[in-house]
Amino acid sequence: MSTPPSSEAPLEWQPPRTGSTFRAILCIPVGVLWCMVNLPWMIFVMACMPKYFERNRTRITSSWGRGLLRIFGIKMELHGLENRDIKGAKILAINHVSIVDLFIYSAAWTDHGTMIYKKEFDKIPLMGRVMRMIGFIPVDRSNHRASVKSMAEAAKRIRETGLSIWIAPEGTRSRRGGVQDFKMGAFHMAMQTGAPIIPCIMRGAGEVNKMGSKIIRSGTIRVDFLEPIQTEDWKRFELRGKAVELRKQFLKYLPPAPDTPTLEDYAREDLKADDVAEGVG
């Protein structure tokens, strides 16, 4: 794993060739063993040595993800760290691709951070408990009222404690590949907190863990942290437009999901809007 010096994110980037299926299968029991050892240890530290855990939260949290990346032979490249590491609260908005994403979120952890995760993870032995003890925020996507309550809790914690939070604007993993339409939760959170949004472009995860597969191959995943988007003066009526603008930024680097607007579609809509405005004028 490496964290190269910051550079402007290239629009075109192709990950190196991934490893073999045979190697990936051999790594599965090692990965399971790592979780069986590491997660109980984290529970012990949080329960019995809370002060030690607080002092070493970032190192302990990221060690789980970094360990799994090493086991599966995945190299993580992080670019634009000066954007990720700006002081104060921030919303790290990242595309959601595969089950490997959780390893990346953990390994690329920031100080005083948290993440929103789907409540189904609570059913996984040990993992669900660790996520709650660390302070991650579960969201029940099957219950709109509960989901809104979870997002409001996250916004409150960001305002009061200067928390940084990982969130996928798509709301759920892309099942067909490409960037899906963005949900509004992240944008309501930004408006309520005034925290800047950091677009995080993740590439290569779909290659090491292909859609619908439980096999995790060795390879390279690149994450580019782009310049912060300031949100202090956002108004509610602007939020849908802000969501479109952020998705357009992601589409400069990533393909759209099937049956969702492309950059060309947005350009045509903008052109029509300009024509209507000129006609009104």
Residue type present at position 194: G
Q: Is the separation of the CB atoms in 101 and 202 below 8 Å?
A: yes
Within a 13 Å sphere around the CA of 230, how many CA atoms are in the beta-carbon half? 2
Q: How confident is the model at residue 6 (pLDDT cuts 50, 70, 90)?
A: very low
Instruction: List pLDDT tens digits, range 242-263.
Output: 999 999 999 999 999 999 999 9
pLDDT band for 211, please (50, 70, 90 cuts). confident
* The pLDDT of residue 240 is above 90: yes
Which one has a higher pLDDT value, 184 or 278?
Answer: 184
Residue 208 or residue 172, greater confidence: 208
74 φ/ψ sector (left φ>0, alpha ψ -120 to 50, else beta): beta
| Cα distance between residue 274 and residue 280, in whole Å | 10
User: Residue 207 — pLDDT band, cuts 50, 70, 90?
Assistant: very high
State how far the Cα of 224 lies from the Cα of 229, in Å rounded to an integer.
15
Q: Which two tokens stand for residue 49?
A: 């040595």
pLDDT tens for 15-24 read 999 999 999 9
State mean pLDDT over 222-244: 95
- What's this model's pTM, rounded to 2 decimal places? 0.88
Q: Which residues lie closer than 8 Å to 202 by C-beta, 6 or more apart?
A: 94, 95, 97, 101, 104, 221, 222, 223
Of 6 and 159, which is predicted with more confidence?
Answer: 159
The topology (CATH level 3) of 21-266 is Glycerol-3-phosphate (1)-acyltransferase (3.40.1130)
Residue 191 and residue 195: Cα distance in Å, rounded? 8
**Confidence (pLDDT) at 224:** 97
Give the tens place of pLDDT for each residue, 101-115.
989 999 998 877 888
pLDDT range class, residue 5, cuts 50, 70, 90: very low
Predicted confidence at residue 273, as pLDDT, reads: 63
What are the strands of the beta sheet with 113-118, ordered from one edge?
74-79, 219-225, 197-203, 90-94, 164-167, 113-118, 137-139
Question: Which residues face 138 on adjacent strands?
Answer: 117
According to the model, what pLDDT value does residue 3 have?
A: 52
Cα angle, residue 73 at apex, residues 28 and 31 outer, rounded to 5°: 25
Domain ranges of the chain: 21-266
pLDDT, tens only, 51-107: 998 888 888 889 999 999 999 999 999 999 999 999 989 999 999 888 899 899 999
**Pick from 72, 33, 83, 88: nearest CA to 214:** 72
